Homo-oligomer: A and B are copies of this chain.
Amino acid sequence: MATSAPIEHPAARRAAATGLRRYLPFLGWLGHYRRADLPSDMVAGIVTAIMLIPQSMAYAQLAGLPPQIGLYASVVPLIIYALLGTSGQLSVGPVAITSLLVFSGVSALAEAGSPRYIQLVLLLALIVGVMKLGLGLLRLGAMLNFISHPVLAAFTSASALIIAAGQLKYMLGYPIGGEHLYETLARAVAGLRQTNPATLALGGASIALLLFFRKGLRPLLRRAGLPPLAVTLIVSGAPLVTVIAGILVTWAWRLDQRAGVAGVGSIPSGLSPLSIPAVNSGDVQALLPAALAIVLVSVVESIAVAKALASKRRQAIDPDQELVALGAANLAASFFSGYPVTGGFARSVVNDQAGAVTGLASLITAGAIALILLFFTPLFFFLPQAVLAATVIVAVFGLVDLREPRRIWRTNRGDAVTWAITFAAVLLLGIEAGIFAGVGTSLAIYLWRTSRPHIAVVGRLGESEIYRNVERYQVQTWPDVVAMRVDESLYFANTRYLEEAILKLVAARPEVKHLVLIGTAINFIDSSALHTLEHLVDELHDAGVQLHLAAIKGPVMDRLAHSDFIARLGAEHIHLSTHDAMRALGHVT
């Protein structure tokens, strides 16, 4: 047992303790790197690279980009994040949903894969980078909290369906356009006769192989008693094994020439070339909605993952510094021929399970991808697009979660409405419009709820000093006084509702001479509410009713003290507690 001094706010303590290291977190781990962590970071870095090689090419394909762009996005941005990020486990790079947002945002402005398309993608990465960096440096990361759980859940599930449908063209081997899910599906069905059998077979076999690794092999290896690290290593290799098998089969049987199987084509050798995004105000304006959507979604997901992984190790991440790091990584993507990157969920979990302790794991991953770019790109010549599509489909199917809306419905109907509106809007209006519709809906529901606060008329419980809702408890009341508790802070949107409720009550009960407003749940009061309260004093006075306040919190009292309100009400009508008010009115002793 100890008597405390005031506890220092942990954020303040952290900032004071670390100084420059707050902004350059690698100073914290690179200088004092513990040798003991090296094997663990090495293994994690390599395992993550094995996962990232096929993923980066597959997600680039999803974003409407040549496969090397995905590899480029997996070198310099990773290095930058490793140096500036506060999570040692987060695996930054191309991810599925961001890739879809890139495609939907840029394909409306230029033909996918064209030089102008790639230029616009570089510009998009620049805008995303500047936005994240700006939010982080201004420490406005909290703005991203306005994307609620139902919005993110619905958005993720709906996007996964759109992504999967978008891969059908690679799986079936014929072009399928369509802006919205229903169009894509209708066109896929209409063109089924054009299916390329070899492509479909390769794609189908890849899906089967991937599912076997995930669903069949993992439990098998576990039952065989392999250590968890080995299981993680083998299972994470599934996409690479599938890719290698796909290349071998295509090469051995010459499926590209003999059966019309489309490959990714020749990938140039060499590290990420420097690139300078062409900034043009018209393009910037056209890309803004897509950039905003990418920032909202990617940061929320990325920070949530980093936080979850850090808390296990009893570490804390700094969300604003995370924004800085992700912003810088996107700038790197923009200047080194990449495309928008963020922290991926599945890959980060693997990185963590494989033992990543510090950012060195990410540096090793980046090094491995650099080696691929320097020496091994010719190997991918025979890689079929259908195999990459299969890895995307298997990866995103785990994101479709239709049990979540039912769970939300059980706990909160308003949030279930938000889920449904977001889900429908993403599928029917498009993914950017969908996310903005979702955010708008959740804000509107919150504002609506706080604009109609719960108001309880209370009475005295037995002979105690406790006052409770007359509708829930057998309590004592008096005809000449009404005591009301408002369960919400008073602000412009609910203050007139409160006023109306009070005036109606007073109009309905002419015997009432005193009205006691209880402030236990009022955390703040704005000037509109203050204005209404001032009016209320007069209005009640004209009606022969005296207003009293009871149990007002300190910060609220401070506001009242700065206004004319107390003079108007009379300080003698402010009471420390409801019981004090009743005592002053002579009803209790």
Give residues in A with beta carbon < 8 Å to B.
1-4, 6-7, 10-11, 13-14, 142, 145-151, 303-304, 307-308, 310-312, 314-316, 319, 407-408, 410-412, 414-415, 442-443, 446-454, 457, 459, 470-472, 474-479, 487-489, 491-497, 499-501, 503-510, 520-521, 523-524, 526-528, 530-532, 535, 539-540, 542-544, 553-555, 559, 562-564, 587
Asked, given contacts A314-B506, A476-B3, whether A451 binds B521 with beta carbons under 8 Å apart, the answer is no
Are the C-beta atoms of A410 and B521 separated by less than 8 Å?
A: no
Asked, given contacts A145-B451, A149-B492, A500-B316, whether A487 binds B523 with beta carbons under 8 Å apart, the answer is yes
Query: Once bound together, how far apart are the Cα atoms of A470 and B2, in whole Å?
Result: 13
Chain B residues with Cβ below 8 Å from A535 are 308
Asked, given contacts A451-B146, A492-B145, A493-B446, whether A14 binds B475 with beta carbons under 8 Å apart, the answer is no
Of all chain B residues, which has the CB nearest A4?
A: B477
A528 in complex: contacting residue of B150, B307, B314, B449, CB < 8 Å: B150
Are the C-beta atoms of A587 and B311 separated by less than 8 Å?
A: no
Are the C-beta atoms of A527 and B449 separated by less than 8 Å?
A: no
Chain B residues with Cβ below 8 Å from A449 are 524
Asked, given contacts A10-B504, A142-B452, A149-B531, whether A4 binds B459 with beta carbons under 8 Å apart, the answer is yes
Chain B residues with Cβ below 8 Å from A443 are 443, 447
Are the C-beta atoms of B500 and A307 separated by less than 8 Å?
A: yes
Are the C-beta atoms of A527 and B314 separated by less than 8 Å?
A: no
Query: Once bound together, how far apart are the Cα atoms of A7 and B539, in whole Å?
Result: 22
Across the A-B interface, give the 5 residue pairs with the lowest CB-CB distance, nearest first.
A148-B492, A149-B528, A311-B539, A4-B477, A10-B508
Are the C-beta atoms of A559 and B412 separated by less than 8 Å?
A: yes
Other than A148-B493, A411-B559, give 16 A-B pairs with Cβ distance below 8 A.
A2-B479, A3-B475, A7-B477, A10-B508, A13-B508, A145-B493, A148-B526, A149-B532, A304-B496, A315-B507, A316-B504, A411-B530, A414-B526, A415-B526, A521-B521, A521-B523
Are the C-beta atoms of A544 and B314 separated by less than 8 Å?
A: yes
Chain B residues with Cβ below 8 Å from A495 are 145
Of all chain B residues, which has the CB nearest A5?
A: B470
Query: Once bound together, how far apart are the Cα atoms of A410 and B564, in whole Å?
Result: 10
Are the C-beta atoms of A150 and B527 separated by less than 8 Å?
A: yes
Chain B residues with Cβ below 8 Å from A412 are 526-527, 530, 559
Are the C-beta atoms of A4 and B563 separated by less than 8 Å?
A: no
A236 vs chain B, min Cβ distance (A): 22
A526 vs chain B, min Cβ distance (A): 6
Are the C-beta atoms of A508 and B14 separated by less than 8 Å?
A: yes
A555 in complex: contacting residue of B4, B454, B479, B492, CB < 8 Å: B454
Query: Once bound together, how far apart are the Cα atoms of A451 and B506, in whole Å?
Result: 35
Chain B residues with Cβ below 8 Å from A563 are 407, 410-411
Are the C-beta atoms of B500 and A319 separated by less than 8 Å?
A: yes
Query: Once bound together, how far apart are the Cα atoms of A304 and B415, in whole Å?
Result: 33
Number of copies: 2
Instruction: List, sorted by A's number, 8 A–B pairs whose CB atoms are closer than 8 Å.
Output: A3-B477, A7-B457, A7-B471, A10-B507, A308-B539, A312-B539, A316-B504, A411-B563
A467 vs chain B, min Cβ distance (A): 12
Query: Once bound together, how far apart are the Cα atoms of A457 and B8, in whole Å?
Result: 10
A509 vs chain B, min Cβ distance (A): 8
Of all chain B residues, which has the CB nearest A529?
A: B149
Asked, given contacts A478-B1, A563-B411, whether A146 binds B524 with beta carbons under 8 Å apart, the answer is no
Of all chain B residues, which has the CB nearest A558?
A: B411
Interface centre among A3, A14, A145 (most CB of B within 10 A): A145
A553 vs chain B, min Cβ distance (A): 8
Are the C-beta atoms of A4 and B476 separated by less than 8 Å?
A: yes
Chain B residues with Cβ below 8 Å from A414 are 526
Of all chain B residues, which has the CB nearest A144?
A: B496
Are the C-beta atoms of A542 and B452 separated by less than 8 Å?
A: no
Of all chain B residues, which has the CB nearest A494?
A: B145
Chain B residues with Cβ below 8 Å from A408 are 527
A3 vs chain B, min Cβ distance (A): 6
Query: Once bound together, how far apart are the Cα atoms of A316 and B379, in whole Å?
Result: 81
A165 vs chain B, min Cβ distance (A): 28
Are the C-beta atoms of A3 and B474 separated by less than 8 Å?
A: yes
Are the C-beta atoms of A478 and B11 separated by less than 8 Å?
A: no
Query: Once bound together, how far apart are the Cα atoms of A31 and B493, in whole Å?
Result: 37
Query: Once bound together, how far apart are the Cα atoms of A474 and B479, in whole Å?
Result: 41
Chain B residues with Cβ below 8 Å from A530 are 411-412
Are the C-beta atoms of A528 and B142 separated by less than 8 Å?
A: no
Query: Once bound together, how far apart are the Cα atoms of A142 and B149, in whole Å?
Result: 27
Chain B residues with Cβ below 8 Å from A311 are 503, 539-540, 542-543
Of all chain B residues, which has the CB nearest A443?
A: B447
Chain B residues with Cβ below 8 Å from A496 are 142, 145, 303-304, 319
Are the C-beta atoms of A470 and B6 separated by less than 8 Å?
A: yes
A419 vs chain B, min Cβ distance (A): 9
Interface centre among A3, A304, A459, A526 (most CB of B within 10 A): A526
Asked, given contacts A14-B508, A500-B319, A563-B410, whether A523 binds B492 with beta carbons under 8 Å apart, the answer is no
Query: Once bound together, how far apart are the Cα atoms of A179 and B499, in whole Å?
Result: 38
Chain B residues with Cβ below 8 Å from A493 are 142, 145-146, 148, 446
Query: Once bound together, how far apart are the Cα atoms of A246 and B97, in whole Å?
Result: 72
Interface centre among A148, A544, A563 (most CB of B within 10 A): A148
